[in-house]
Structure 1
Amino acid sequence: MSQDSAITLAPGERQLFSEQFSPNMFLTQFKTTMVITDRRVIVRRPNALFGVIPMGYNEETSPLRHISQVNAGESFSTRHMLYGGLAIVLGLINLGGGGSMFGGGLAVVGLVLIGVGAFLIYAAHELGVGFRNHGGGVLFAAASKSERGKVEAAKRAVNDIVFAREQPVESEVPVAPATDPTIVIPAPTSAVPSSAPSRFTAAQASDPTTPQALLSQIAEHEPSLRSTVAANPNCYPGLLDWLRGLGDPEVERALAARV
């Protein structure tokens, strides 16, 4: 059973960014959805009984103007530790009943519970993107440990959206058309090259699996890789339009060569 990623927006509300993570690297059907609109942050998390049985989802929101901090990193789930410990205790109790007439069945149940408990304790440390509001509340979009690069790219894109709104801008940033409701990423905010040392590679710029948020960052901060980004099949329409407007001959040739 896969998690429904559709999130209903209010009339007139515009989606700016959306990403999905798989907090469980084994049960990848459980998806955490993070959506940023021009009004709020939305995080939808799957609910699962004992970590394996789908039980709907929980959706939390916070107004965009109330977000004070965006973090990407590790979190510790007390709930997972509690459920994991309880499952292990129940499993040991069932194993202790092996001498009864139902001993064989109880032993199997006990082993299953111990396995589930150990898994929950293992999953107690989570990776993801967290949003802290001015009241101290936190929205957390959990991801698996293998999605660290995806989390970092999402954090950079979200920071650009959330905190750029606090600065005066001369013109509206172009946004990719909502042809895919799960991937809408803003184009880079400036055509001026960054003076910071490059942290991007040509392999990232050309890889079709590179997240669109990361492609936006590469195009903004690494002018020498813009033609490579323009040729990437995963380059989204909003970013293509931004690149096309730069008037760079190498970028123009890469755009013309796209199929």
Structure 2
Amino acid sequence: MTHGSQTALAAGEMVRYQGQFTPHMIRAHMKTTVTITDRRVVVNKPHMLFGLIPHGYLEAESPLRHISQLSVGHHTSGRRLVLGVVLGLCALSALWQAVADGDVRYLLAFLVLLVGTIVAVLSATTTGIFFRNTGGGVLVASSGRSELAEAQRARAEIGQLLFG
């Protein structure tokens, strides 16, 4: 599974740019594909159940005339960071209860909440290409941190197509 289904092109539509990025280095076979045609931007990214089980692809698109901003870099989700802090506080509370009561259930709750905290904090940062449209929506083509230079080269090429 190196890429998702090919983007269906309309009559007369031509592909101007297509590139693939690897959002997760551990799951290198799952690729995010960015396709720029003369009419639209299409981002085709893998959909994973529980972050592990491949379950198809999600295809999102936006017309070129509605793309208002193109960014490349790292984005940190405040929502996921807050979730990590809340889960961390719950984990400390469960640990406190486990120590006070000597109950194994609270210790198990502490371990589960600790894993949730780590996952929430580690998944808070996204690296990739971000296409903002005039309606306020954002198409994200995630890439790995090691692919940031390639994403910047793609951004330069896509920027020429969109705004040049």
- Class of the TM-score when normalised by the shorter of the 2 chains: 0.7 to 0.9
Percent identity of paired positions between Structure 1 and Structure 2: 39
Q: Which residue of 2 aligns with 1:17?
A: 17
State the distance in 2 between where 1:127 and 1:52 align. 19
The DSSP-based 3-state class of the residue aligned with 2:159 is helix
- Counterparts of residues 29-44 of structure 1 (less than 5 Å): 29-44=29-44
State the Cα distance separating 1:76 from its structure 2 match.
Answer: 2.5
Q: Which residue of 1 aligns with 2:54?
A: 54
Q: Which residue of 1 aligns with 2:146?
A: 146
1:77/1:5 CA distance change after superposition, 3 Å? farther
State the distance in 1 between where 2:123 and 2:112 align. 17
State the Cα distance separating 1:127 from its structure 2 match.
Answer: 1.0
Runs of 5+ in structure 1 lacking a partner? 101-106, 165-259
1:63/1:48 CA distance change after superposition, 3 Å? same
- Counterparts of residues 1-259 of structure 1 (less than 5 Å): 2-77=2-77, 99=104, 114-115=114-115, 118-164=118-164
Please identify which structure carries the higher strand content: 2
State the Cα distance separating 1:153 from its structure 2 match.
Answer: 0.3
The DSSP-based 3-state class of the residue aligned with 1:10 is coil
Q: Cα deviations across residues 157-212 of structure 1 (Å, max 9, x unaligned)?
A: 00011112xxxxxxxxxxxxxxxxxxxxxxxxxxxxxxxxxxxxxxxxxxxxxxxx
State the distance in 1 between where 2:140 and 2:159 align. 15
State the Cα distance separating 1:27 from its structure 2 match.
Answer: 1.7
The DSSP-based 3-state class of the residue aligned with 2:13 is coil
Q: Cα deviations across residues 107-158 of structure 1 (Å, max 9, x unaligned)?
A: 6xx8688546524421321111111112222111111111110111000000
State the Cα distance separating 1:3 from its structure 2 match.
Answer: 4.3
Tell me the TM-score normalized by structure 2: 0.75
The amino acid of 2:9's aligned partner reads L
Q: Cα deviations across residues 198-237 of structure 1 (Å, max 9, x unaligned)?
A: xxxxxxxxxxxxxxxxxxxxxxxxxxxxxxxxxxxxxxxx
State the Cα distance separating 1:65 from its structure 2 match.
Answer: 1.2
The amino acid of 1:159's aligned partner reads G
State the Cα distance separating 1:49 from its structure 2 match.
Answer: 2.3
CA contact (8 A) 1:46 1:54 kept: yes
Larger relative contact order (Cα-Cα within 8 Å, sequence gap ≥ 6): 2
The DSSP-based 3-state class of the residue aligned with 2:74 is strand
Q: Cα deviations across residues 19-38 of structure 1 (Å, max 9, x unaligned)?
A: 11111122222221111000
Find the structure with the greater CA-based Rg.
1
The amino acid of 1:140's aligned partner reads V
Q: Cα deviations across residues 76-130 of structure 1 (Å, max 9, x unaligned)?
A: 246755886898879x98xx7x847xxxxxx6xx868854652442132111111
Tell me the TM-score normalized by structure 1: 0.50
State the distance in 1 between where 2:27 and 2:113 align. 17
CA contact (8 A) 1:44 1:60 kept: yes
CA contact (8 A) 1:50 1:116 kept: no
1:18/1:112 CA distance change after superposition, 3 Å? farther
Q: Runs (4+) of structure 1 moved beyond 3 Å?
A: 77-90, 110-117
